[in-house]
Amino acid sequence: MYIVSILFILAGTFFFFSGTIGFLRFPDFYTRMHATGKCDTLGALFSLTGMALYNGFSLISLKILLIAVLVFLTSPTGTHAILRGAFDSGVKPWTKDGKSVIDTQVRRK
Amino acid sequence: MGFSGTFIILYIFWIILSGRFDYFHLSLGIISCAIVAYASHDLLFKETKAKNVHTQFIRFVKYLPWLIYQIILAGIYVTYLALHPRMSMLIDPHIIRFKTKLKKDPSLFTFGNSITLTPGTITVLIEEGYFYVHTIDKKVAEGLLTGQMEDKVAHVFMEDHGED
């Protein structure tokens, strides 16, 4: 169990690390939010699960899992709120063909 | 339903967070949870006029493992892009706009959050039945537009009957 929890925490740290690298390397605001929003959610989930496993079955690990659930719910909402703020105030996304918004529709097979 | 549901959730939360099981703390919890539940019972369960709440809950629990799997895929994909040496050639970000068939608030919320959690897509805006989604390249945009996730969410909140 000890080793498993260390593996989980290592995986979480790796995702945090790559999220930071992505944040530095991606070209514009929107793509950077991809890096921070995704990798940090995953990193937090992994490290918190690892810590909960490290503690074994106790009240403390239950609390840690509650924090994980909170992160799971709030992180996408926060990402969405920041992005929406940027979109409403007219931040143009970095695109290759210069069109920012494309109209599409769902194609079902 | 509103009051008792809020009370039960709050009380479970109280017990986990306090971690003490003597009568003094448990009764304090009952009193304060009752006050808070009385004051705010209409916040948590706003539209529970809907039928089949239990079925929806069970389907939602079944939906969660798939979502967690998608989150892990998302992390790996974005990590791959972030660490790729020719990253700026691989990505092709756009905001795409498409019409959704979902109508109820909880399903829109779940669908928006699920889009944000899955590989390379973030919900930007939900407006009058249209979703504005920022996608990081063509591939994930195509994946989103197959409508697989939308169908799953529609199934969870029982919106897939009597449509069109």
What order of strands is seen across the sheet that includes strand B130-135? A101-103, B94-99, B130-135, B121-127
pLDDT at B105: 77
To test the contact with chain B by mutation, choose from A38, A49, A64, A74 the residue with the greatest count of B C-beta atoms within 10 A, namely A38
To test the contact with chain A by mutation, choose from B73, B90, B94 the residue with the greatest count of A C-beta atoms within 10 A, namely B94
d(CA B71, CA B116): 9
pLDDT in tens, B71-106: 788 778 888 887 877 777 777 777 888 887 777 777
d(CA B124, CA A14): 27
Per-residue pLDDT band for A78 (boundaries 50, 70, 90) equals confident
pLDDT, mean of residues B133-143: 78
Provide, rounded to the nearest whole percent, the portion of chain A with pLDDT above 70.
87
pLDDT at A59 over 70: yes
Instruction: Looking at the complex, report in whole angstroms how far the Cα of residue A63 sits from the nearest Cα belonging to chain B.
Output: 7
- Taking an 8 Å cut-off on Cβ atoms, the answer to whether B82 and A25 are in contact is yes
Does ipTM top 0.85?
A: no
d(CA B150, CA B98): 12
| B77 touches B124 (CB < 8 A) | no
pLDDT at A19 over 60: yes
pLDDT, mean of residues B15-30: 85
What value does the mean pLDDT of chain B take? 78
- Taking an 8 Å cut-off on Cβ atoms, the answer to whether A26 and B124 are in contact is no
Instruction: Using CB atoms, pick whichever of B88, B116, B145 lies closest to residue A37.
Output: B116
| B121 touches B95 (CB < 8 A) | no
Expressed in angstroms, the distance from the first to the final Cα of chain A is 45
| B129 touches B27 (CB < 8 A) | no
What ranges do the domains of chain A cover? 2-88
Distances (CA, A) of B52 to B59, B64, B131: 11, 19, 27
pLDDT at A98 over 70: no
The structure's pTM equals: 0.73
Name which residue leads in pLDDT, A40 or A101: A40
**E strands of chain A, at which residues?**
101-103
User: A89 CB near a chain B CB, below 8 Å?
Assistant: no
Provide, rounded to the nearest whole percent, the portion of chain B with pLDDT above 90.
2
User: A39 CB near a chain B CB, below 8 Å?
Assistant: yes
